[in-house]
């Protein structure tokens, strides 16, 4: 992800020091009806409902 600072962005915040590396984790919960299979980690395996 890249967020470019600008006056017309929703992703801006007050300038401050951020030590270290910023990380992000995105989890998507899908059902067997999920059609965008290419977006899954293992697109050839069935989606198992828990």
Q: How far apart are CA 3 and CA 23, in angstroms?
A: 13
pLDDT of residue 7: 75
Q: Which two tokens stand for residue 24?
A: 């992000």
Local confidence pLDDT in tens for the 50 residues of the chain: 667 777 776 666 677 788 888 888 888 788 888 788 888 888 888 877 66
Provide the residue ranges of all domains of the chain, joining segments of one domain with +: 17-50
Q: How far apart are CA 47 and CA 33, in angstroms?
A: 9
Statement: the pTM of the whole predicted model exceeds 0.85: no
Cβ-proximal residues to 46 (8 Å cutoff; 6+ apart), any chain:
32
């Amino acid at each position: 992800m890249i967020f470019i600072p600008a006056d017309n962005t929703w992703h801006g915040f007050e300038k401050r020091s951020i030590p270290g590396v910023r990380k992000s984790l995105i989890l998507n919960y899908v059902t067997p009806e999920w059609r965008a299979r290419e977006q899954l980690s293992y697109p050839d395996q069935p989606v198992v409902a828990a």
